[in-house]
């Protein structure tokens, strides 16, 4: 099964609209030799400008969150339909920072994943253990639970399109990336969890990314692993040249 690799930048709370446009100018004419999907997930304020500047390019734009309701009295929230209206393709759901600081739960992650598909968006669902869970050997039990709860009630067809990002919380923004073997081990385990929840046809198609201190220097070693289909990258995705080096690294690794 050929799964197209993804390099998804997650800008988090960075960049003004002007800075986002500059980034778009710098990457929009980039041609990759083999199939790599280039994705940039930006703050809501920059999405419209990015979608406009990247229209017709190979780069897809993603949001970093959304509400699951279609509309209503939810001050400060953004609906799935508002994102599709802008031409947004992906939406990150359940990032550990949203789980930790903004009360995202497995239940809201599941509701948002369903709402994303219902509106023609593709969710990038994040899962990952914290340091205490990692150190006490609870990683797999925790990840299995997060994955099963995220995909509950999704159809097989939807889950085949789903993107899952495994981001150990202790590796995010710390410079302490997971070892390549550990990342492959957990990501292979996520694939078998999807197989248990659906079947092997679904499991072989779902794309699973690694995230946590990914850089141009280490991307190729992750990409050499059989189950790792790309990366969700924070800090190293902010500068256009570093982002493009990550994309080149995928080509080198697969």
Write out the catalytic residue numbers: 95, 167
If one asks whether residue 129 binds ligand 13P (CB under 6 A), the answer comes out as: no
* Least spacing, CB of residue 96 vs ligand 13P, in Å: 7
∠ at Cα 47 (43, 51), nearest 5°?
150
Q: Which of 120, 145, 142, 116 is nearest to 131 (CA)?
A: 142
- How near is the Cβ of 69 to ligand 13P at its closest, in Å? 24
Whether the Cβ atoms of residue 56 and residue 88 lie closer than 8 Å to each other: no
For position 186 contacting ligand 13P by CB under 6 A, the verdict is: no
Tell me which residues in 48-107 interact with ligand 13P (CB under 6 A).
95
Query: How distant, in Å, are the alpha carbons of 4, 9, 24, 178 from that of 156?
Result: 19, 27, 34, 30
Does 211 help bind ligand 13P (rule: CB under 6 A)? Answer: yes
Shortest CB 173 distance to ligand 13P, Å:
4
Which of residues 80, 123, 212, 230 is near ligand 13P by CB under 6 A?
A: 212
Among 7, 10, 66, 125, binds ligand 13P (CB under 6 A): 10
Does 164 engage in binding with ligand 13P (CB under 6 A)?
no
In DSSP terms, which residues pair with 166 in a beta bridge?
Answer: 127, 210
43 CB-near residues (< 8 Å, 6+ apart): 11, 13, 14, 15, 64
Asked whether the beta carbons of 237 and 11 are under 8 A apart, the reply is yes
| Segment lying near ligand 13P (by CB under 6 A), choices 65-73, 109-117, 195-203, 230-238 | 230-238
Among positions 62, 94, 168, 235, the unique one binding ligand 13P when judged by CB under 6 A: 235
C-alpha distances in Å from residue 221, one per residue of 5, 8, 233, 234, 252: 14, 17, 15, 18, 9
Total interface residues for ligand 13P by CB under 6 A: 14
Based on the shown chain and the rule CB under 6 A, indicate whether residue 167 belongs to the binding site for ligand 13P. yes
* Chosen residue from 139, 159, 213, 225 binding ligand 13P by CB under 6 A: 213
What is the three-class DSSP state of 136?
A: coil
Can you give the binding site for ligand 13P, defined by CB under 6 A? Answer: 10, 95, 167, 172-173, 211-214, 232-236
């Amino acid at each position: 099964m050929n799964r197209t690799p993804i390099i998804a930048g997650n800008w988090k709370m960075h960049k003004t609209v002007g800075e986002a446009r500059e980034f778009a100018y710098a990457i929009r004419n980039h041609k990759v030799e083999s199939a790599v999907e280039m994705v940039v997930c930006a703050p809501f304020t920059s999405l419209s400008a990015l979608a406009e500047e990247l229209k017709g390019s190979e780069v897809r734009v993603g949001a970093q969150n959304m509400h699951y309701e279609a509309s209503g009295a939810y001050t400060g929230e953004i609906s799935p339909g508002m994102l599709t209206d802008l031409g947004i393709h992906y939406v990150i759901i359940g990032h550990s920072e949203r789980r930790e600081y903004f009360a995202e739960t497995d239940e809201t992650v599941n509701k948002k994943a369903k709402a994303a598909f219902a509106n023609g968006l593709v969710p990038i669902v994040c899962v990952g253990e914290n340091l205490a869970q990692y150190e006490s050997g609870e990683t797999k039990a925790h990840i299995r639970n997060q994955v099963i709860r995220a995909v509950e009630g999704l159809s097989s067809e939807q889950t085949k399109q789903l993107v899952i990002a495994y981001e150990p919380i202790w590796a995010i923004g710390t410079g302490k990336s997971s070892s390549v073997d550990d990342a492959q081990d957990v990501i292979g385990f996520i694939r078998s969890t999807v197989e248990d929840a659906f079947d092997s046809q679904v499991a072989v198609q779902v794309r699973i990314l690694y995230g946590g201190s990914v850089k141009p220097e280490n991307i190729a070693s992750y990409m050499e692993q059989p189950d790792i289909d790309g990366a969700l990258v924070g800090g190293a995705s902010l500068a256009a040249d570093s982002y493009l080096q990550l994309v080149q690294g995928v080509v080198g690794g697969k």
